[in-house]
Structure 1
Amino acid sequence: MAGLRARHRQARVEQVLNVASELFASQGYETTRIEEIAESAQVAPATVYNYFTTKANILTTLAVRHVRASLPERRALVRDPPADPMDAIRAFEKLLADQALRTLSRECWRAILSAPYREPRGTAHRVSLRFQWLIKRHYVLMLTGFQERGTIKKDVDLEVLADLVTAIGTYHFSRLVSDDEMTIDDLKEAVERHLDLVFAGVIAQPNPKAPKPKSTGPKPASKRKQRDE
């Protein structure tokens, strides 16, 4: 009997989440009220408050559900990435952005990304840190494969590299969700510019086609002697 009650409760939770997701997408996160979610889900508002306490907790739960549903696709790419590390990271960042906007609106992601500033060390902040940790773990796994194949130098600290790549991706994703005119292709190009610096370094390489500078100093003694003779 207890198992049946638990299943019924989970079914109601899923119904509330599905309705909330639809309302957030159609009329916006900020303007949607819990009472509207309850009415559309055909449950009492008190039931929604009992399950989630706040609207922000509903959004956090939707984000967790999104990540869980996204993991198989991410793992498949990590296991079989493009042969070039840059191409692999570009593909993974594009996948992350595609999955995110496929599930939740930009407005929802703005609310999620702002949680650490609005509620430091709160539930949403802890969930956000967990998301970042998962992305970093995937990058460590992917980059380890490249390092084992000799594509990445053996002395590169992959934990540090994964931290840096994750930070670059997070920064540009925050730009994407804060700017309604920015596209995923724009994000891909912006990430690529920073990755070029990470993987190629910032030391300029000599251009073999550049003309050699003319010497303005004194000629060597041997050449002066030949000319005098």
Structure 2
Amino acid sequence: MCARTRTEEDGQGRGLRARHKAERRSRILDAARELLRAEPESVLSTERIAERAQVAPATVYNLIGPRDKVWEALAAGFTDELDRRLALLGTDDPRDVVESTVRLFVDDPVVSRRLVREWEQSGLVLDRSPLTQLRRALADARARGVLHADADTDALASVVGAGCVGALHQWVAAQIDDERFLARALLALDVSLAAAAADSHRDRLLAPLRSRGGSA
């Protein structure tokens, strides 16, 4: 009985330590976001993050890592939030995936712009959640007969993803505004859907392209 109780206590202790660790990690990332929003052009240093989060610089390094890992963790936070938004929508519509992705970035423009500009692997920022969700949505469209039975939905998702990344970088560079960012991301989707459309759905999937004309 004593041994069993000790085991339970050890497990509770580990659980408590893991929870505290997760809470400190979350506080560190919140502090990084707050710093970026308060001073958009400032250097995001480990020391400044630690001061804002009220932890030691070594804690930032141990729980997150150097600055590049901070950007990576912030990117993971974006995709976690996208997962949450898509789960709330409860939809398999590829258009919802693209629109939700764009709105995620424009809702937090300072952080997302700095992330894309300064993270060396920023091209991977859309690699996890949106592409996974998009592949699933396109495969579902193929299964429902909306797309040709032989359509390569993984390839289609990659093409849409590349178009979204290109639009994202244009938006980050202030070459296009929020509205045009969304329009160009949706254009990449609409072109891909139209190219792979089953005959019975071709006119419907071509309609957005016909109505858009040269506006994108």
State the distance in 2 between where 1:15 and 1:200 align: 45
Aligned residue for 2:137?
A: 142
1:17 is aligned, of 23, 29, 42, to 29
- For 1:183, the equivalent position in structure 2 comes to 177
Pairing 1:167–2:162 present = yes
Q: Is the 8 A contact 1:136 1:166 kept in 2?
A: yes
Cα distance, 1:199–1:45 mapped onto 2, change above 3 Å: closer
1:105 aligned residue (112, 122, 129): 112
1:29 Cα deviation from its structure 2 partner = 6.2
Aligned residues of 1:17 and 1:62 also touching (Cα < 8 A): yes
**Where do residues 1-229 of structure 1 align in structure 2 (5 Å cutoff)?**
1-28=13-40, 30-77=42-89, 79-81=91-93, 88-89=94-95, 91-103=96-108, 104-112=111-119, 115-116=120-121, 128=124, 131-179=126-174, 182-200=176-194
What is the alpha-carbon distance in structure 2 between the residues aligned to residue 190 and residue 169 of structure 1? 7
Aligned residues: 181
Q: Calculate the aligned-residue CA RMSD, in Å.
A: 2.6
Does the CA contact (< 8 Å) of 2:98 and 2:130 recur in 1? no
* TM-score normalized by the length of structure 1: 0.67
User: Does the CA-based 8 Å contact 1:23-1:29 persist in structure 2?
Assistant: no
SS of match in other structure, 1:132: coil
Pair 196,58 (structure 1): closer, same or farther in 2 beyond 3 Å = closer
Taking the aligned partners of 2:167 and 2:66, their CA distance within structure 1 comes to 29
Residues 200, 16 of structure 1: CA spacing in aligned structure 2 closer, same or farther, 3 A cutoff?
A: closer
Are residues 58 and 194 of structure 1, via their aligned partners in 2, closer, same or farther at CA, if it must alter by over 3 Å?
closer
Q: Which residue of 2 aligns with 1:227?
A: none
Deviation at residue 27 of structure 1 after TM alignment: 0.8
Say which is worse superposed, 192-201 or 91-100, in terms of deviation.
Answer: 192-201
Read off the aligned partner of 2:27 and give its amino acid letter: Q
Is the Cα contact below 8 Å between 1:78 and 1:141 reproduced in 2?
no
* Alpha-carbon separation, structure 2, partners of 1:47 and 1:163: 38
Contact 1:146 1:152 in 2 (8 A): yes
Give 1:183 deviation, angstroms: 1.9
Percent of aligned positions that are identical: 25
Alpha-carbon distance change, 80 to 2 in structure 1, aligned in 2, over 3 angstroms: closer
Alignment partners' CA distance in 1, 2:105 and 2:114: 12
* C-alpha displacement of 1:159: 1.7
Q: Which amino acid aligns with 1:106?
A: R
